Structure 1
Amino acid sequence: FLVAITFAANNKSEDAKWNGEINVNKLSSYLALSASQSEEVKQICDYFSEQMRRASHSRKNHDALLHNAVYGNLKLMKGTLTPEQYTKYLQVINVTLRNRDIEVK
C-alpha cells in the first residue's frame, strides 16, 4: 500500500529552517502506537530532526539533503507503522512541512 505525496518544488523559501522537535508523545497518541512502536518512532523522529536541521542549514546540498531526510523518514516510518497509521502519518508530515514552508523536490 503505497501512498504518494507530492510537495511543491518551485517557490522554495530560502528562509525555511527546521528548528523544532517532533512531539513524539502527541504523535504516538494520534497514531495509537504500541509501546514498541513508540520507541522506534521516537528514534526515527530524533534522526529525522537531525537530518532536517542539517538540510535547513546547508546551502550547497539543501535540496538533496532535504529530499533524503524526508523520504528516508517515510521509508523508516512505513516499516514501523501499520498501513492505517502510515496513512495518518503522511497527512501529518505533509501538513507540518507545508506549515513550515518547507518544500521537497
Structure 2
Amino acid sequence: MKRLGLTLVAAFCLAASTFAAGNQPTTAKWEGNINVSKLSNYLKLSSTQTEEVANICDYFTEQMGRISNSTKKQDELLKNAVYGNLKLMKKTLTSEQYSKYATLLNITLQNKGIELK
C-alpha cells in the first residue's frame, strides 16, 4: 500500500511539473517569416494595402529578431514591437480586416509560446 501511495505521489508531481513547465511565459526566438501572400488572401487586401502590409511585416520580423538577440528588457521590447505592429496595421487595414489580423497575430504568438504581460 505504501508503494502504491508513493507511486501516485511521484506520478502527480511529474504531471504537475510538466504542466507548469509548459505554461511558463517565454520570449522564444521569432523564427517565422510572415507569408504576405497568404495574409493578403485571407484579409482580401487591395494592391496598395498589400505593399504596406509587406513593409510592416518586414519591419515586425526585423524587430522580433532584435528582441530574440537582446538580453535586457525583452518583455518591454516585445510589447512595443507587437503594439507598434498593431498600430501600423490599424492605419492600413479596414476595421474588419484589422479584427481578423489581430486575432491571427494573437493566435500566432500563443502558438509560438510568446506571452505579453
Aligned residues: 95
User: Partners of 1:51 and 1:12 in 2: how far apart?
Assistant: 19
Kindly, what percent of the aligned residue pairs are identical? 63
Unaligned runs of 5+ in 2: 1-22
Please say if 1:90 is aligned against 2:102: yes
Q: Which residue of 2 aligns with 1:40?
A: 52
Unaligned runs of 5+ in 1: 1-9
Instruction: Point out the structure with max Rg over C-alpha.
Output: 2
Contact kept, 8 Å, 1:56 with 1:66, in 2: the verdict is no
User: Partners of 2:66 and 2:79 in 1: how far apart?
Assistant: 12
SS at match of 2:88: helix
Structure 1 segments (4+ residues) deviating >6 Å: none
Deviations 1:37-84 (A, max 9, x none): 000000000000000111122121201110110000000000000000
Q: Which residue of 2 aligns with 1:65?
A: 77
User: Partners of 1:90 and 1:83 in 2: how far apart?
Assistant: 10
User: Partners of 2:85 and 2:101 in 1: how far apart?
Assistant: 11
User: Partners of 1:32 and 1:61 in 2: how far apart?
Assistant: 36
Paired residue type of 1:34 = S
TM-score by length of 2: 0.78
User: Partners of 1:85 and 1:75 in 2: how far apart?
Assistant: 13
Q: Which residue of 2 aligns with 1:81?
A: 93
SS at match of 1:26: helix
Report deviation, 1:33. Answer: 0.1
Q: Which residue of 2 aligns with 1:13?
A: 26
Higher helix share: 2
- Higher relative contact order structure (alpha carbons within 8 Å, sequence separation ≥ 6): 1
